[in-house]
A and B are shown apart, each in its own frame.
Chain A
Amino acid sequence: MSMATADRPSMAVAGEPLLRVEHLSMRFGGLVAIDDVSFGAAPDQITAIIGPNGAGKTTVFNCLTGFYKPTVGRLTLNAPHGTFLLEQIAGFRIAQRARVARTFQNIRLFAGMSVLENLIVAQHNKLMRASGYSVGGLLGIGGYRRAERLAVERARHWLDRVGLAAQADAPAGSLPYGGQRRLEIARAMCTEPVLLCLDEPAAGLNARESAELNELLLWIRTEHRIGILLIEHDMSVVMGISDHIVVLDYGRKIADGSPEAIRKDVNVIRAYLGEAEDEALPPEVAKDLGKTVP
């Protein structure tokens, strides 16, 4: 199928989830990173993807945001501005057209540029059009100034929201860790996404910063009414704010449901805590233990 069909907007079907992942598989040579995973994410809901290290969570994100091309599977985004088959859109165009934004596990800011510049760069495509692809901007014609002013206002809105307005002109790399995490989220939001993918946003945050992050994500969900996909290890974040949890283990989906259901799920408990001790030991080992310990 050509990309044109993939990009062609159509009306979002009522009741459809924002994102539908069907039979997603990703193989690297002989290694199966994701094996037939299907799940959905609703708009104005926070969907968490959890699982032990190496379960394939980040690979799912990379498939969704165009960094990997999935081996098998269909990724449908039913956005208000059209329906997109993400697996058929190449690289950066997913962010550009389908408006899926993401953050990274190891923060990727433009460290040498100022905090404000980071947020302005996020609005690149809109500003590029306003500057007549630089020609109008260079000659000083067209509505670039006005567009830039609007971009600054949007940036200010997010700077105020994440509490970085005072450091707006400082290099992004000079911010403390928590500030960098918040700035990366603000930068992703400046692209006006319909789906925000956050890869371990609470990693390295202290308890207070983590609580602030929860509040910020809940605010984004209710205020901007966009879908949020969240990879997280911090269970206080996951259980505190997610509406829906998907659990992966060794590339397979082992559970899918509300936080309450997941908390009680036997498979999940087994994946996270290992098997109960007496069950886990093979009979002969248990017998050996019984012999040596008087």
Chain B
Amino acid sequence: MVANAAPSTEIGLHAAPALDYQGILKQAALAAFVTFLLAAGIVGIETVSSTGELTFATRYTEVFIAVVGVFLGCVAISLMRAGRPMPALIGAGTVTIVLLVALILETENEVFKAILPFKAVAIDWGAVIIPAVIAARAAQLVFRARAKAAGRTAPVVAPTLAGLGRRAVPWIGLVLIVGAVALPWLPFGASQRKVIDICTLVLTYIMLGWGLNIVVGLAGLLDLGYVAFYAVGAYSYAMLASNFGWSFWVCLPLAGMLAASFGVLLGFPVLRLRGDYLAIVTLGFGEMIRVILVNWWWVTGGPNGINKVARPSFFGFSFERKAPDGGMTVYDLFTSVFGSEFTYNPYWRIVFLYYLILACALITNFFTLRIRKLPLGRAWEALREDETACRALGINPTNTKLTAFAVGAMFAGFAGSFFGARQGFVSPESFVFLESAVILAIVVLGGLGSQVGIVLATAVLIGLPELFRELKDYRMLAFGIGMVMIMIWKPGGLLAHRDPTIRLPNAAPKPDGAP
């Protein structure tokens, strides 16, 4: 397929040094051989459980595709390095186009079926990305070489783009909010429910990310046990609702307060710890909460968790077909308010839950944006920068740290109580260390302290794996690759830029005084 990517000097745009064919081929062959060694074991043999016993299945085709793919890709990259991007562009471009055409025309046609490398659609889409990236890079090099040949200097795009991106951040935020509000009304057809469900999940993680961002991003306290507060929130709601029959709207603030007091509880013993040591203790705290939930079974239900947690109501109006206590349902309410007839519709509850978490997440966001401009938020950031200097300026480090822990935990508590209400079921399974790690990864990959960055990181880390559920076992692989890629290209996170919380106004202060 990529045979035409083989070196042909005629296509070179300008006199480049003679190509070292042998070197290029040798390097590509070596890379292909290493790929073969790795793929033969990892990809080539699959364990299949059939009728109770474990057997091996071989996948020679996949190994072959991997080896050929690496060989051709290696040749293409070497050619680009040697200043001959054109053959790489033609080769990679051809592969991309062929795969795209095959994918778009779907696999009804036998010829296209044969062209597609894998047997799962999602992996095929993934397979298109690699030649597409190589082709894009080659095209960029060709363009640059042309520009140089024409005597123009390459346009300096990068810094302007960065500046543009910085100014665009508030606008991106606005567009995202409008999009999020409009989402349930957009036509997704059959997948409507799935889209809303995924977005609800993504928003839960965004809220958790924004909450943890207060502790890690602003106050600089590395917390590896954040999921503990999420668990406290979820169990508080589940236990209060099941035992006392209190409504969601009463339990929500209580769950937040309980989680916040657990935040203070964790905060006290770790006041003097920093960095790695703090991380270890918070990690232990997170596990402690989980172990307590498992073992205190007569209160928490142990490993079975708490079942049949009350679903949230629309300010007292039930979403059920028939209100349990004989009261009004939300459909009755709408019927009486708007006149026209509304009947039971399970989609309503999903949309309501979606808007609920959207509102909670936005409150978290606005709180953070506002507190950053208040002395407490600035003190958190100062504490992250230098605790000793804070003391010398008369800032109380104890209070400052504890408020950061408490506020961060409070938002986790809100999110947890939403989680309990949405699932209708809580168990210790949902609050394992991996959850803490994922939330922390979201905050770090988003760029510590950046609100929009966290949204992007959540979309990449939670949204994409959910969309690509077809990848099955490779889903976590995709998650890991995504993380590594972000750290290679953007070591400071997706949006690492920090804007000052206050700027020096011009010499003549504005009459309204808003700095």
Q: In the complex, what distance in Å separates the CA atom of A113 from the CA atom of B388?
A: 16
Q: Are A131 and B375 in contact (CB under 8 A)?
A: yes
Residues of B close to A145: CB separation below 8 A: 513-514
Q: In the complex, what distance in Å separates the CA atom of A95 from the CA atom of B394?
A: 4
Q: In the complex, what distance in Å separates the CA atom of A144 from the CA atom of B374?
A: 9
Stretch in A50-58, A78-86, A146-154, A271-279 with 4+ CB within 8 Å of B: A146-154
Q: Are A112 and B498 in contact (CB under 8 A)?
A: yes
Q: Are B396 and A169 in contact (CB under 8 A)?
A: no
Is A165 in the interface zone, CB < 8 Å from B? yes
* Residue in A91, A116, A122 whose beta carbon sits within 8 Å of that of B391 in the complex: A91
Q: Are B513 and A125 in contact (CB under 8 A)?
A: no
B-facing mask of A94-123, CB < 8 A → 1, else 0? Answer: 111100011010001111111011001110
Q: Are B389 and A138 in contact (CB under 8 A)?
A: no
Please tell me the number of chain A residues within 8 Å of chain B, measured between CB atoms: 50
Is B392 in the interface zone, CB < 8 Å from A? yes
Is A76 in the interface zone, CB < 8 Å from B? no
Smallest distance from the beta carbon of A272 to chain B beta carbons, Å?
A: 30
Is B502 in the interface zone, CB < 8 Å from A? yes
Find the B residue at minimum CB distance from A172: B385
Q: Are B374 and A131 in contact (CB under 8 A)?
A: yes
Q: Are B381 and A92 in contact (CB under 8 A)?
A: no
Q: In the complex, what distance in Å separates the CA atom of A155 from the CA atom of B403?
A: 27
Q: Are B504 and A109 in contact (CB under 8 A)?
A: no
Q: In the complex, what distance in Å separates the CA atom of A97 from the CA atom of B513?
A: 30
Q: Are B502 and A121 in contact (CB under 8 A)?
A: no
Is B390 in the interface zone, CB < 8 Å from A? yes
Smallest distance from the beta carbon of B388 to chain A beta carbons, Å?
A: 6
Please tell me the number of chain B residues within 8 Å of chain A, measured between CB atoms: 35
- The answer to whether residues A152 and B390 also contact, given A110-B385, A111-B385, A121-B379 and a CB cut-off of 8 A, is no
Q: In the complex, what distance in Å separates the CA atom of A184 from the CA atom of B503?
A: 19
Q: Are B391 and A104 in contact (CB under 8 A)?
A: no
Q: Which residues of A contact B (CB under 8 A)?
A: 65-67, 91-97, 101-102, 104, 108-114, 116-117, 120-122, 124-125, 127-128, 131, 133-134, 137-138, 144-146, 148-149, 152-153, 155-156, 159, 165, 168-169, 187-188, 191
Q: 13 extra interchain contacts, Cβ-Cβ under 8 A, other than A97-B394, A122-B393?
A: A92-B392, A94-B394, A104-B388, A113-B381, A113-B500, A116-B503, A117-B501, A133-B376, A134-B375, A138-B374, A155-B504, A168-B504, A191-B394
Q: Which residues of B contact A (CB under 8 A)?
A: 367, 370-371, 374-376, 378-379, 381-382, 384-386, 388-397, 403, 498, 500-505, 509, 513-515
24 A-B contact pairs sorted by A residue (CB < 8 Å): A65-B392, A66-B391, A92-B392, A92-B395, A95-B392, A96-B394, A102-B392, A108-B386, A108-B389, A110-B386, A111-B385, A112-B498, A113-B382, A113-B500, A128-B375, A131-B374, A133-B376, A134-B375, A137-B374, A137-B375, A138-B371, A138-B374, A148-B502, A168-B503
